[in-house]
Amino acid sequence: MVPLAAVHLTATAPPMIKSAVHRSRKGHGKPHYRNHLTTIRSASSNSSSSASMEERTGGLCLDRREMSNLQSSWPEPIVRVQTLSESGINSIPERYIKPPSDRPGKQISLPVPGATNIPMIDLMGVEGKAEEEAAVGEACREWGFFQVVNHGVSPELMRAAREGWRQFFHLPMEAKQPYANSPCTYEGYGSRLGVEKGAVLDWSDYFFLHYLPPSLRDEAKWPALPPHFRELIGEYSKQVVELGGRVMKVMSRNLGLQEDRLQRAFGGHDIGACLRVNYYPKCPQPDLTFGVSPHSDPGGLTLLLPDENVPGLQVRRGDSWITVEPIPDAFIINIGDQMEFVSNGIYKSIEHRVIVNSNKERVSLAYFYNPKSDIPIKPVDELVTEERAALYPTMTFDEYRLYIRTKGPRGKSQVDSLKSTK
Ligand SMILES: O=C(O)CCC(=O)C(=O)O
């Protein structure tokens, strides 16, 4: 990656991107498992057939080595959802229509008296203060989701990143097509997830890129437009990954662990980090489809920058779905499946989904902070006791992704199927 100090910003860079990069540089007992691991490992030999929902949600981030045996082209011609939306259709094509039992339905329900939103945490007042940090722990245990403000990432950079991506999606199709992705790595500009022929699709386009490990980072695959956007993506990625590391410490302390314990369980400095930018065009029949279907994130943590003005993310709460009201300049953070595993089920990876609407497009940036993909991931020893045996088997993130790809997850079924029955 080009060091930021070496980046020369010219007068052609849009002012928002230029100033955002400049300013941020200035510094701111042996349990029984329902599915045995051997099943998962054997899955790897015949896993090339169909991709799963998790691939569709971007959390998979399979690297080039893993994906090299996979299908190299999509099973059907790619149709950009944006193109469909802009064509002026009044009804959506059949392949975006979910079965009646899987449609958005009732959109907001508040099962908890007084609860109108996921918890909000002010990180400025929290770090290092046990009592305040407990709020983070409670959110991770009870909700699996929370919003953070005063998180240390420059708000100007956040806004510039979101607007830069919006500009990218508004470029003419011929400027975006060179970034078109394939199911081998998913890197680049995409409009479908999964390679199952005839699958019902979600109403979104996306852009997917790797930031960590550095060996997977290929800036030539990042958008070159708008001007200087690559530098901005690099700086944004750096700050969001730093935030992820700080949140990991708070979460670790809150579990009664040494503050670097969760990070070590994830592989120390060798973690993975990848970005999926979601673009949800206006949809003439939003009650029949989803922007992203219900899923839990397979990785460690997700740091989501939502569209400030357009709600869409819904989080499962019991039998209902709560629509998250975005707080200006906040990140929405959620627990992924790997964090649920290492915390031995204390922190919860919660199902979520995205609804679309007929009046406004929506853009969101989901950063996936993942463990190193080839190390054993298991509940940390300190959280395994006689009273609470290890709830999950040991497996690498790579194996988990293969498992998901083979089984075809629905909602949280992959996590639940691995859970100890004792
Ligand atoms: O767009 C959103 O608000 C959430 C997106 C999401 O869940 C995902 O990308 O996995």
CATH number of the domain to which 211 belongs = 2.60.120.330
Answer whether residue 241 is part of any domain: yes
- Which residue range(s) make up the domain with 314? 4-416
- Distance of alpha carbon 395 from alpha carbon 402, whole angstroms: 11
Q: Is residue 285 part of a domain?
A: yes
Q: Cα 246 vs. chain centroid, distance in angstroms?
A: 18
Q: Give, for ligand 1, the residue of 292, 334, 335 to mutate: max count of ligand atoms closer than 8 Å to Cβ.
A: 292
Residues linked to residue 363 through DSSP beta bridges, in sequence order: 279
User: Does the residue 422 lie in any domain?
Assistant: no
Residue 421 lies in a domain: no
Condensed to tens digits (0 to 9), the pLDDT of residues 352-411 reads 999 999 999 999 999 999 999 999 999 999 999 999 999 999 999 998 887 665 544 456
Q: How many domains does the chain have?
A: 1
| Residue 317, in any domain of the structure | yes
pTM, full prediction: 0.86
In a domain, 146, yes or no: yes
On the question of pLDDT at 185 being above 80, the answer is yes
- Which residue's CA is minimally distant from atom 2 of ligand 1? 313
Higher pLDDT, 409 or 271: 271
pLDDT at position 223 over 90: yes
Q: Which residue, judged by its Cα, is nearest atom 10 of ligand 1?
A: 57
Instruction: Tell me whether residue 189 is in a domain.
Output: yes
Q: How would you write 150-209 as a 3-class SS string?
A: CCCCCHHHHHHHHHHHHHHHHCCHHHHHHHECCCCCCCEEECCCCCCCCCCCCCCEEEEE
Alpha-carbon gap, residue 46 to 37, rounded angstroms:
15
Residue 379 covered by a domain: yes
Minimal-distance CA residue to ligand 1 atom 7: 353
Mean pLDDT of all residues belonging to the chain: 83
Residue pLDDT, tens place only, 189-200: 999 988 888 999
